[in-house]
Amino acid sequence: MKRIMRIAYAFAVAAVVFSLTVSAQKKVADSKTTYAKEVLQPYVDSGELAGAISVFYKDGVQETCCIGYADVAAKRPIKMDNAFMQCSQTKGFCGVTIAKLVEEGKISLDDPVSKYLPEFKELWVQEYDKDGVRILRRAKNVLTVRMVLNHTGGFPFEASAKRNDVRGGGWSGGAPIRQIASVAAASPIMFEPGTRELYSNTGIDIGAAVVEAVTGMKWENYLKQEVLDPLGMKSTWFWPTDKQIENKIEMYICKANAPAEWREEMPWQQRPYNDSHVFASAGAGLWTTAADQLKFYKMLMNLGMGDNGVRILKEETVKSILAVSTRPEKMSGYSLGLQAPVKDTEDSWFGHGGAWGTNCMVNWHKKQLKLWVIQCGGGPQPWNAQVGKAAEKFFAQPFNVNSDEYTGRIGEK
């Protein structure tokens, strides 16, 4: 009898949680606008643009534009659930995992990296003497967690264990995260930690190695457990399924006044993308869909709350270390794996882009978002300016939507 009562109680609790989660979801209204489509259609008609996805969101109202093709030759339309490699947008996911551990008091951004990864206790800075001879000197500044996440640690773009010219590695491959960190620690850095900025996949991978040391889990598994699964991002992972690859957004090289040229892969990619030679990387390489990306970036826009009502981070955490720069004020803005303003204002946006032209930025003050998905391996992209103007028109519209519909938040921490 007691067992039956326990089971009944469990079902009752689950029903309440489900009800609260449903009520917590933000209702999204179709804007009935076509600003992006209007400016992109001529480029699709000429073949210059193979296909793209644009999403504008403003406090409950959304314009979604899927235009052109994921595969021009097959005439396969581009859709919100087509998989693609988002490249450096992966960095923001690492930033969120670090932010969670900071929030939980398990790390501090100003902790020495060597507290968790002892091999970083002693670093060497590469310099040149007056005759151009390379010399090394011991670093004076302490390398901190903050520095590796905001690209001020002094590390090169890629460590030798991953560089394409060394062993054929790529953004989604090369070596395990912990090995990348060890190789980086044993290699010269480019400048004194904290004194300059240099965009670096290596630094972000070091941040992921810190997560592994603190949690005892592989970084990608911690990400899945704490971010991807709670947000319902079932189509996002470092190893896309065969079906996802079959239906992926194909890569194209853009041409001026000429049809885009299909490209099987780029030099830093690793086909077939999902076998044992591919390793997770926090710097780049996470596959996703536009539908899944919206879940992640709307969570940031909503200051840590997913549209499904699940809280990932506290509001203050997002405001203080993700939505605003963590670099010294004299430098440009960057937080933890995310482009962010030096000073946060009502007109501030934060987010990130990727190498193949993808981008998503959000404004938490005004509850605004602009997402762009394309797989362009190079060449002119004249439509970018036009999409920017379309976004301005969208955000200028006085949509009449009740902004208080987002209620019933659960999962507060």
Say if residue 225 is in the same domain as residue 245. Answer: yes
Residue 172 lies in a domain: yes
Say if residue 172 is in the same domain as residue 295. Answer: no
Residue 288 lies in a domain: yes
Say if residue 37 is in the same domain as residue 163. Answer: no
User: How far is Cα 115 from Cα 361, in angstroms, rounded to an integer?
Assistant: 33
Say if residue 312 is in the same domain as residue 245. Answer: yes
Say if residue 80 is in the same domain as residue 183. Answer: no
Count of domains in the chain?
Answer: 2
Residue 408 lies in a domain: no
Q: Which of 156, 189, 216 is the last residue of a domain?
A: 216
User: How far is Cα 387 from Cα 373, in angstroms, rounded to an integer?
Assistant: 12
pLDDT tens string, the chain, 413 residues long: the values are 444 445 444 444 344 444 444 444 568 999 999 999 999 999 999 999 999 999 999 999 999 999 999 999 999 999 999 999 999 999 999 999 999 999 999 999 999 999 999 999 999 999 987 788 889 999 999 999 999 999 999 999 988 766 554 444 444 457 899 999 999 999 999 999 999 999 999 999 999 999 999 999 999 999 999 999 999 999 999 999 999 999 999 999 999 999 999 999 887 776 788 888 889 999 999 999 999 999 999 999 999 999 999 999 999 999 999 999 999 999 999 999 999 999 999 999 999 999 999 999 999 999 999 999 999 999 999 999 999 999 999 999 998 765 444 333 334 43
Residue 15 lies in a domain: no
Say if residue 104 is in the same domain as residue 243. Answer: no
Q: Which of 185, 216, 247 is the last residue of a domain?
A: 216
The answer to whether the beta carbons of residues 399 and 59 sit under 8 Å apart is yes
Q: Which of 216, 240, 258 is the last residue of a domain?
A: 216
Say if residue 225 is in the same domain as residue 276. Answer: yes
Residue 377 lies in a domain: yes
Say if residue 155 is in the same domain as residue 246. Answer: no
Residue 410 lies in a domain: no
Q: What pTM, to 2 d.p., does this model score? A: 0.89
Say if residue 252 is in the same domain as residue 192. Answer: no
- DSSP-derived secondary structure for 315-381: HHHHHHHTSS--S-TTSPP--SSSB--SS--TT--EEEE-TTS-EEEEETTTTEEEEEE--B-SS--
Say if residue 76 is in the same domain as residue 120. Answer: no
With CA atoms as reference, report the closest residue to 354 among 274, 270, 251.
Answer: 251
Residue 386 lies in a domain: yes
Say if residue 255 is in the same domain as residue 385. Answer: yes
The answer to whether the beta carbons of residues 225 and 302 sit under 8 Å apart is no
Q: CATH no. for residue 181?
A: 3.40.710.10
Domain extent at residue 74: 31-89+220-396
Residue 41 lies in a domain: yes
Say if residue 279 is in the same domain as residue 335. Answer: yes
The answer to whether the beta carbons of residues 97 and 204 sit under 8 Å apart is no
